[in-house]
Amino acid sequence: MRQRVIGFDLARANAIFGMYIVNFTFCFGTFSDKSFLGKFTNLFIGNSTSIFIICAGMGVVLMTSKDNYNSAEKNKLTFIILKRSWFLFFLGLLLYSWWPGDILHFYGGYLHIAAFLLFVPKRYYLWIAFVFILVYNLLQLFIPITTSWDLQTTKYADFWTPVGFLRNTFYNGWNSIFPWFAYFSIGMYLGNLNWQDRKIQKRIFLIGFIFLAIFKGLRMLIRADFESTGRNSFYTKYWMQIMEDYFPANIPYIMITTGFALMVISICMYLGGRFSKSKFIELLAKTGQMTLTHYVFHMTVGIIVLAILTSKHYTGYPTTQQPIRPIYLLTYAVIFFAISVTFSFFWSKKFKKGPIETLMRKITN
């Protein structure tokens, strides 16, 4: 395995593990737990998703990284990516009826857009990310971000209507194309970098740290200054734009999660190069290669098993029963991830790709 691919897959494994923690907690726990483990769980909110989407963007570029494609080859690759986007879109819609927090149908949307951006100069990817963030913020001036949402139950009133579906997909869904494609576009930029160069690894890590420090620091200053007589009304008016996490995904949140993702991906790239011969690293990398399979697996089998073990009723929405304590959810996530790693090891002995990855390639290639 190439060093850059090992590091890339390590980052994907990190993302899927974080998604286990967040999604199991969303369905059976609570994010308002003030204990140490409760706060630890909250660290994964948004960060795992941002890494997942950025890695998806990187993966598309790594797949099409040759320099001398002719026009026929470019058209063929574009069509393959389009077909994969349709596969993910419809798989996600199928899963949505079971798991309303599904990301795959959004992922299909990102991939569809990316198919037409495969061969543009890499500098444009950052501008494209900026445009998607800008459009999202402009849309909030005209359409209330909470339209059709009941944020107490996290139910969306008109998802299956044409207008509601388009609004949710492009604007105010959990991972709507505006602004979340910005992460994907950033990933496409990162995929064009030479990650075997330690200077690149250090530079991207430093950029991520600066993003994280500046916007985390800004939030800390605002919290400390909130009671200021002259500025309290301003903070109150713009609290959602500055402080909200995940929904809505406004600029401070995007910068913080992007910064965190850049740091994690840089570390994973370093580890992939430094310990490329390690069996443990190789196991994690194989797990990262099957993130699509593991995503579907944890939101079906993983959820069903957890519901049975805890005698809880799964609804796809935050539980109205007594929440499961963070210690048990974290333990279950670790065990389930260990099972995922074990499955990846044995599956990869016979097959190159995961089950759902193989199905997607058979259908779309």
Tell whether the model's pLDDT for residue 333 goes beyond 60: yes
Q: What is the mean pLDDT of residues 60-78?
A: 85
Residue 247 lies in a domain: no
Give the separation between CA 119 and CA 117, rounded to whole angstroms: 6
pLDDT tens by residue, 289-330: 999 999 999 999 999 999 999 999 999 999 999 999 999 999
- Model pLDDT for residues 93-136, shown as the tens digit of each residue: 999 999 999 999 999 999 999 999 999 999 999 999 999 999 99
* Dihedral sign of CA atoms 251, 178, 146, 38 in order: negative
Burial track 45-82 (b if 16+ CB lie within 10 A, e otherwise): bbbbbbbbbbbbbbbbbbebeeeeeeeeeeeebbebbb
Please report whether residue 72 resides in a domain: yes
Torsions phi, psi of 155, nearest 5? -95, 140
By residue range, what is the domain housing residue 176?
3-191+280-364
Q: Which of 215-219, 234-238, 281-285 has the highest mean pLDDT?
A: 281-285
- When divided into structural domains, the chain yields a total of 1
Let me know if residue 107 belongs to a domain: yes
pTM: 0.94
Q: Is the pLDDT of residue 287 over 60?
A: yes
Q: How many residues does the chain have?
A: 365
Does the residue 215 lie in any domain?
Answer: no
Domain assignment of residue 55, yes or no: yes
Helices (H), the chain: 3-28, 36-42, 47-63, 71-96, 104-114, 123-139, 162-167, 177-191, 198-224, 232-237, 239-243, 251-274, 279-288, 291-297, 303-310, 326-348, 355-364
Residue 196 domain-assigned (yes or no): no
How far, in Å, CA of 88 to CA of 68, rounded? 28
Question: Does residue 275 form part of some domain?
Answer: no
- Does any domain span residue 116? yes
Residue 346: pLDDT above 90?
yes
